[in-house]
Amino acid sequence: MTSKPTIYHEKQVKELCALHALNNLFQTRGTYSKSELDAICSRLSPNVWINPHRSMLGLGNYDINVIMAALQKKGCEAVWFDKRKDPGCLDLSNICGFILNVPSDYKLGFVMLPLRRRHWITIRQIQGNFYNLDSKLDAPQLIGRSSDLIAYLKEQLDSKEKELFVVVSKEVEEKQQWMHQYALNNHTTSQNSAPVPANHCESPAESISSLSQYDYRNRDAVCLQVTEVRNCVVSRENHF
């Protein structure tokens, strides 16, 4: 009989879902700490009274800028996935995990407040199976094998309010190895032929450039500002 895998799963505390998502991704307690994420916030926006990358009350609610900077410290990158494309183009063998951004209701005790927050969820493979490691769950939720994951991601990305980030090593991101080779080949061929079909997988650069159609005015939609995020993170790292 196959024993159940040991899975590290942090539960939700305050508004620290980004912290929990990062630690659940690396499957180690204390991979990141709240003080470390707060330090990243200060580095990204120094000398400000209200830091735009976290809750003004200091309870968490970190944005994608903080997550990307934290991942880069571990030699990883978070690549925004264009939800118009088929998740079947993902090369799961070269992907560390996924971070899903979803809308979430806000509670104060048992009272539901009329506020909409963004919630970060980690999905990753452990001993051959993929698990939803949402910090709001009582226990990790089994998704299944590769085909089950692809079906799950398709279902999640049907929602306009959800966004997916693919977590890969820096080398994989640079070589675009997080997509199957056939998808990259189709992209190269399409540049000199017919218009790109709707289910074609674009390169990361193309996907990022397509973000201009979204409304950036809502801070909770900051996860969509990937181009600005990359510039912000790189400039801050160079500064220091």
Active centre residues (catalytic) = 17, 119
Query: Which tokens go with 14?
Result: 């305050």
Helix (H) or strand (E) holding 19: helix 17-26
Q: Which two tokens stand for residue 61?
A: 């609610």
Which of 178, 210, 183 is closest to 199 using CA atoms?
Answer: 183
Is there a contact between 81 and 64 (Cβ–Cβ < 8 Å)? no
Tokens representing residue 193 in the block: 């032929």
DSSP 90: B
Q: Which two structure tokens, joined as six digits, stand for 137? A: 């769950």
Q: Which among 67, 85, 82, 60 has a CA at the least distance from the CA of 230?
A: 67
Distance of alpha carbon 193 from alpha carbon 190, whole angstroms: 5
Angstrom CA distances, 216 to 48, 171, 212, 220, 225, stand at 21, 30, 9, 9, 7
